[in-house]
């Protein structure tokens, strides 16, 4: 009787283990299928939950333990969010007087976007990038839906970034600046070929400090590098089709406090209204759509000729 009981018990545990194994395999297969998207499928627009809390200030300058406390108190993702909100990188952490910090720190920087989540006027524009001079930030849109935003350090008062519409053209993972051969620009994407202006990774000090280019944190520069489109040119550099449209707009007040510190009194102080984006877009929309259509037709003709 005991032997029979032990055999039945052993078989029961074997059956349970077998079910668990196949259950785990099914879960892994399901996850694999969910993560594998068909080739050519449009990227999913991220779901963004907006932060609606308040902000506080953390003194930094003159505090030798501030960096140690900062790293101990916050996770790597939270640190990234805080630095992005203050338009700085780690190399400039001890060079600022204080940091603006959300009362509740979420891991998704998109939750703190000052840009509108949707812009109806962009519905027919496949890809679009805006750089706001007043708040030193960029936003990337797909058919009117915000897909990413981040901090920037634009042209200084002496070397301002040219505002208005341009298009991305050539790119390079590393590019030596034409202004100074000691400046190595990573994930460089040019937007004004003749002037040599583009966006790229470079030091972020928390104010507009570049030599007319658009500085970014490395993760943002690399993302935009992969996301935006290059122009299409012939061998003689004749432009057949433009790349992704880019609008740099507004002006920075160099005499006022950094605009993100206004969040301490008013959490929505840096918010940009959809109407403000549309105002910058509308005078350029026809040109953008014409360039987009020309590129679409050229790409279609190339596919047909294969």
Instruction: Parse the chain into domains and list their residue ranges.
Output: 55-304
Pairing of strands 214-216, 197-201: parallel
171-176 β-sheet, strand order: 171-176, 184-192, 197-201, 214-216
200 is catalytic: yes
Whole-prediction pTM value?
Answer: 0.84
Q: Which of 113, 52, 48, 120 is nearest to 274 (CA)?
A: 120
Q: Do 84 and 217 meet the contact criterion of CB atoms below 8 Å apart?
A: yes
- Predicted local distance difference test score (pLDDT) of residue 62: 76
pLDDT class of 43 with cuts at 50, 70, 90 = low
> Exposure of 223 by Cβ count < 10 A (0-12 exposed, 13-18 middle, 19+ buried)?
middle
- Measured CA to CA, the distance from residue 110 to residue 262 in angstroms comes to 19
Quick: pLDDT tens for 154-210. 999 999 999 999 999 999 887 666 655 555 778 999 999 887 799 999 999 999 999
Catalytic residue among 19, 26, 211, 213: 213
Domain 55-304 sits in CATH at 2.40.440.10
Quick: pLDDT tens for 80-135. 999 999 999 999 999 999 999 999 999 999 999 999 999 999 999 999 999 999 99
Catalytic residue among 19, 159, 200, 211: 200
19 is catalytic: no
């Amino acid at each position: 009787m005991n032997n029979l009981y032990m055999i039945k018990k052993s078989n029961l545990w074997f059956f349970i283990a077998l079910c668990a194994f196949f259950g785990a395999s099914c879960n892994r297969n399901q996850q694999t299928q969910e993560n594998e998207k068909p080739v050519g499928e449009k990227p999913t627009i991220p779901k963004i939950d907006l932060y609606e809390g308040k902000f506080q200030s953390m003194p930094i300058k003159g505090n030798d333990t501030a960096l140690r406390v900062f790293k101990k108190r916050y996770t790597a993702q939270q640190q990234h969010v805080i630095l992005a909100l203050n338009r700085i990188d780690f190399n400039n952490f001890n060079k600022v007087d204080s940091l603006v910090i959300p009362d509740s720190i979420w891991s998704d920087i998109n939750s703190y976007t000052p840009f509108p989540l949707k812009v109806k006027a962009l519905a027919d524009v496949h890809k679009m990038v805006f750089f706001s001079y007043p708040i030193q930030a960029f936003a990337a849109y797909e058919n009117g839906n915000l897909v990413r935003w981040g901090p920037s350090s634009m042209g200084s008062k002496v070397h301002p970034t040219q505002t208005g519409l341009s298009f991305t053209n050539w790119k390079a993972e590393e590019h030596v600046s034409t202004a100074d051969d000691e400046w190595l620009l990573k994930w460089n994407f040019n937007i004004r070929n003749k002037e040599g202006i583009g966006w790229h990774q470079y030091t972020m000090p928390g104010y507009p400090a570049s030599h007319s280019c658009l500085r970014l944190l490395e993760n943002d520069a690399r993302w935009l590098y992969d996301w935006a489109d290059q122009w299409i040119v012939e061998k003689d550099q004749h432009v057949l089709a433009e790349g992704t449209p880019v609008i740099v707009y507004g002006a920075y007040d160099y005499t006022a406090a950094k605009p993100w510190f206004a969040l301490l009194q008013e959490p929505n102080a840096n918010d940009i209204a959809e109407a403000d984006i549309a105002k910058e877009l509308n005078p350029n929309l026809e040109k953008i759509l014409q360039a987009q259509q020309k590129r679409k037709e050229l790409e279609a003709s190339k596919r047909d000729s294969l």
